[in-house]
Structure 1
């Protein structure tokens, strides 16, 4: 059995355990606030977070603002992105009174864990991490120290709150394994402090951008969760398709048509081929109407709730203030345990 098959089998058993004893688990998850959240975020991660919290799992969500600068020179509109994400979390059903939603930069004790954790890994192990390798290959420039140590920073994110459950896709398995290695090595060297988190594999749907490329704000091909119905319709209307009026699902040769079919599919809960057959010879206009209606109908309640929350200027900042307070309290406590275990308490 290969390692992924083994991980998948363990995850299936873990899912049953979580459903039976949700109170035993604490999830740490999150994202880099590099722009507005879009359909890929909703279907890939946000919906799963809401589901786990509804089961009774303790939910921590990090908006990793320090990690924005791993591969770019400035933070950009990070404040706007952070507050927008909080609105989308709440609109999607996450209970922001119960979840701990916080930012990297507001929790010094979390970041201080980086120092002892870095002593537990080698440079070669960092360079072998797939995300680090991919970034190095794509950037064409020297890795920053922050990018190289990205996996260790993620370990600090997970372990500061003693998270023991990490929802992750297949490509994120190496990150969680690095966290497990760091926890294990720390415990072996200094004494038991950290749990070794387990991976709950998520079947993240492949949602391309409207042009068939990777969904990205920089490409202008993503439907963000905060868009209005009219903005969604205008964006889809501008999406290039092709001159063949007969609609078929073929991502390789018809990327624009196929991306719209996938967008409709994920919102309607139908497979792309069935939708294509229903449209038949209706052409790109009919396809765009189906995709537009599917998105706007699916997200109508989300957008209404988001607008209601956005009308209160104190809502997002209040959620973040409380989340940062909780995160700091926990991080200071964990750092105290780390100092005690390492013998660096001097008072």
Structure 2
């Protein structure tokens, strides 16, 4: 069986440079080597929040970001979770294969519940790992690019696939997590980079917006610039960001800036980021909402064709539908 990559994002706001260096650049590279499904996980927006926000608008913006960074709809199927009802039908038999105790002790679910903005934890949040198993297995995904915090979800998917195969006959491959050496970028305030905290540089930000964000970034009182991730994390983060955008070592940049202080560091970082984002911004400006909707409609059709076939195979294996003659 040929490998298939499944990846995606929740449409909760604009993608930022943390997403680019953490996952998007890797997806652009992977699409040249493997068939790829890119999920716009709109149903998953409601797993950990009471109000979903502007899902429709965020979905359009997400697709435009994908296209702007170089994800090619001719090589990657970009699709929307809510447009594939067969995918969600897989959730029911999959839930029968996992115990409540196994769901309860999933460390990623525990962490997501702890940071949830919901007044009460929903059943959807509790079954989130099985929902993700359906996302991966509907297209028989075998490679799942994830960060360390998402490894437990991939393990649940492997558990579901293995138990289904043992109980009903082999239908699913056992997917593997793809752990890359993804650089960790903190937010410009020194905390976790997040869409909701206003501490990230969106891929769609203008040059002036980018400059304003970097001007407000935290540094420290030492004038001489050095790269020291433990003692000077905020300065190191700006050096890392500039280095990634320039394709250079952050230590080398620190040596060049030296006694230039925080003002020079922020100027260098601003110029590096704006130069890096310039072609992405240009491609995004050439696209419109109509392009995003067309790409999504085409991807939804292709993804649903795959989901229909998988659901039929599952139902036949379980004895829920008549075999085709």
Q: TM-score range by the shorter chain?
A: over 0.9
Residue 135 of structure 1, CA deviation: 2.0
Report the counterpart of residue 69 of structure 1 in structure 2. Answer: 46
Specify which of 15, 36, 40 is matched with residue 59 of structure 1.
36
1:163 is aligned to 2:146: no
Report the counterpart of residue 320 of structure 2 in structure 1. Answer: 344
1:318 is aligned to 2:272: no
Alignment of 1:184-263 (within 5 A): 184-263=162-241
Alignment of 1:1-347 (within 5 A): 24-55=2-33, 57-139=34-116, 142-310=120-288, 313-345=289-321
**Bigger shift: 235-244 or 291-300?**
235-244
Inter-partner Cα distance in structure 1 for 2:150 and 2:82: 23
**Bigger shift: 264-273 or 294-303?**
264-273
Residue 172 of structure 1, CA deviation: 2.1
Inter-partner Cα distance in structure 1 for 2:99 and 2:120: 18
SS in structure 2 of the partner of residue 54 of structure 1: coil
SS in structure 2 of the partner of residue 101 of structure 1: strand
CA contact (8 A) 2:49 2:116 kept: no
Q: Which runs of 5+ in 1 are unaligned?
A: 1-22
Please report the RMSD computed on the Cα atoms of aligned residues, expressed in angstroms. 1.8
CA contact (8 A) 1:211 1:259 kept: no
Q: Which runs of 5+ in 2 are unaligned?
A: none
SS in structure 1 of the partner of residue 227 of structure 2: coil
Count of equivalent residues: 322
SS in structure 2 of the partner of residue 147 of structure 1: helix
CA contact (8 A) 1:155 1:176 kept: yes
SS in structure 2 of the partner of residue 35 of structure 1: coil
Residue 325 of structure 1, CA deviation: 1.0
Relative to the length of structure 1, the TM-score reads: 0.88
CA contact (8 A) 1:107 1:324 kept: yes
